[in-house]
Structure 1
Amino acid sequence: MGTSSSPRSSITPELRRQFQTEGYFVLPAIVPPAQVAMMRETCATFIKNYDAEMDAAGVTQQGINIKGSRYFIANRHRGSRLGEFIFSDLMAEICRATLGDSAYLFWEQFVVKGPEKGAKFSWHQDSGYVGTPHRPYITCWVTLDDVTEANGTVYILPYSRAGSRDLQPHVKNAETNDLEGYFGADPGDPVIVPAGSIAVFSSHVFHRSGFNTTPHWRRVYLPQYSAEPIRRADGSLVAFAEPFLEDGKRVAAAGPGDADTRAS
């Protein structure tokens, strides 16, 4: 798929129907190369900073980040160039096609699996981690490297094969602390796409991922968007609620200059 296609022409009526019936669609090689390069550079800077902090402390693990193995780098868009992608025309069109005319940035993070390392993740729905009733949101799984089964790509279980499109009970795995919600035999469909692709799926879609068994990094960026602010029973926000679309129009401009001024 050429990068010259507009986001609107890339999200076909067939893909919109697939999202409604199965909960996901995939856009291969849709992200402009310049934005892929920017996200790679941003990710590398954050990893370098984490490694320096661990070296200074004389440790190889900081929270859930393990030096050279895995990194979860969340909510660093403020003060960085990530807003150029998060609030871009492409992401606006994805939000319109899935959430409708209202969209908020809910969460964003890098998930990095090191060479011949990196954790696997059990079958879960993203909504299973929220802890309060909410309307399903979307995850945009953006590949910064080519992804394969060998390097720990994501596997998606369509609604029709999961047997439900609703949030299911999850239990904590005592060994990994992962939440798990599907225990069937279906292996799911692996997303095998080049760098610059996006798998878009509902927070009610079951998905999992495997180990990275290759000698190369596997880097993914994950912005998530909701149709409305997601709040706990006491009214506090679960994560972000940064306005992006209102009545179908963008209310957040793309670019680093806007990153520190959006409400949360």
Structure 2
Amino acid sequence: MTKTQKPLVEDDQVAQYAAEGYFVLEKVIGAEDLELLRGAAQFSIDRLDAAMDAAGVDRIGINAKGKRYFSNMVYQQRPELRRFIFGPIMEQICRRVLGENAFLFWEQYVIKAGDPDTTFAWHQDSGYVHENHTPYLTCWIALDDVTEENGSVYLLPYSRSGIKSYIKHIPIETGDQVCYFGSDPGLPVIVPAGSIVCFSSTVIHRSGANLTDKLRRVYLLQYSPEVIMNGDGTAPHGSYEAFLIDGKVATAVS
């Protein structure tokens, strides 16, 4: 970034992240990167459909065939995604939010087909890990224009939830982990394709059903300021690939 270029993440957005747990970057992903991320979306669906077919089921965990998909670590089979995961946009976001050290923690596609059974319950991303970990950064990347009709994410900023730390979650029959049963509908995030919603893993959020006839595709990248270990501390939880170490880029991108 030159002296005349506007920073990707402004100071007021960093302050908002600290105070409310989130900020939004609208239309910051260019056409080439957007097509790169879209290119692996169908692959992520096909991979899960094949797994469900092989098992003779229409649900695996929180995935429902033809309805909603949470396909993770796709980049391990589609290495071209590394150009974005460890590229300049994510580098700038990680530096501003996490500081001089950042590790890729998790990567997945979150895809909803047109079906009323595509809601996702109130949760913290931290609720899918364990209690004893440092909060991490979630980057919710819209690959399509996001509306309330096709399954927007709804956030409960810290000032509305009154919560900034991990809280206990309760599993329900869909496989979702739930941590909020109140009446606040949350703040809908309506953004065009190419936008990134950045929020802390301790922000309570949900998403609505896709009631349109088109897919709603989101690419999710999560970064942590340190390697997150499993509950008993014996091995890393998720990915642990270094991105930034002491302010320097530690990951080669072909």
TM-score greater than 0.5 by the shorter chain: yes
**1:49-78 deviation digits (Å, cap 9, x = unpaired):** 4445666x5956262444432222110212
Q: How far apart, CA to CA, are the structure 2 residues paired with 1:167 and 1:146?
A: 30
2:58 matched residue in structure 1: 61
Letter in 2 for 1:97: R
SS in 1 for 2:40: helix
**1:25-53 deviation digits (Å, cap 9, x = unpaired):** 00011111111111111112332444456
CA, structure 1 residues 178+68, in 2 after alignment: closer, same or farther (shift >3 Å)?
Answer: closer
CA, structure 1 residues 58+230, in 2 after alignment: closer, same or farther (shift >3 Å)?
Answer: closer
Kept in 2: contact 1:132–1:231 (CA 8 A): no
1:262 matched residue in structure 2: none
Q: How far apart, CA to CA, are the structure 2 residues paired with 1:84 and 1:192?
A: 27
Structure 2: where are the runs of 5+ without partners? none
1:131 matched residue in structure 2: 130
Alpha-carbon shift at residue 170 of structure 1 (Å): 1.6
Q: How far apart, CA to CA, are the structure 1 residues paired with 2:103 and 2:55?
A: 39
Q: Which moved more, 1:210-219 or 1:41-50?
A: 41-50
Alpha-carbon shift at residue 200 of structure 1 (Å): 0.4
Q: Which moved more, 1:57-66 or 1:202-211?
A: 57-66
2:216 matched residue in structure 1: 218
SS in 1 for 2:227: coil
Is 2:18 the counterpart of 1:20? yes
**1:80-121 deviation digits (Å, cap 9, x = unpaired):** 211111101110111111111100000100011012355211
CA, structure 1 residues 178+155, in 2 after alignment: closer, same or farther (shift >3 Å)?
Answer: same
> Which residue of 229, 232, 253 corresponds with 1:231?
229
**1:206-236 deviation digits (Å, cap 9, x = unpaired):** 1000110011100101010000001132321
Q: How far apart, CA to CA, are the structure 2 residues paired with 1:101 and 1:161?
A: 30
Letter in 2 for 1:82: L
Alpha-carbon shift at residue 240 of structure 1 (Å): 1.0
Alpha-carbon shift at residue 189 of structure 1 (Å): 0.7
1:76 matched residue in structure 2: 74
Structure 1 runs of 4+ aligned residues shifted over 4 Å read: 49-55, 57-60
Is 2:87 the counterpart of 1:93? no
1:181 matched residue in structure 2: 179
Kept in 2: contact 1:102–1:247 (CA 8 A): yes
CA, structure 1 residues 196+21, in 2 after alignment: closer, same or farther (shift >3 Å)?
Answer: same
Kept in 2: contact 1:112–1:118 (CA 8 A): no
1:160 matched residue in structure 2: 159
Kept in 1: contact 2:72–2:109 (CA 8 A): yes
CA, structure 1 residues 42+158, in 2 after alignment: closer, same or farther (shift >3 Å)?
Answer: same
Alpha-carbon shift at residue 163 of structure 1 (Å): 0.8
Give the count of matched residue pairs: 248
SS in 2 for 1:47: helix
1:241 matched residue in structure 2: 240
SS in 2 for 1:156: strand
1:258 matched residue in structure 2: none
Q: How far apart, CA to CA, are the structure 1 residues paired with 2:117 and 2:201?
A: 23
Normalising by the residue count of structure 1, what TM-score does the alignment of the two structures yield?
A: 0.87
Normalising by the residue count of structure 2, what TM-score does the alignment of the two structures yield?
A: 0.90
Structure 1: where are the runs of 5+ without partners? 256-264
1:252 matched residue in structure 2: 251
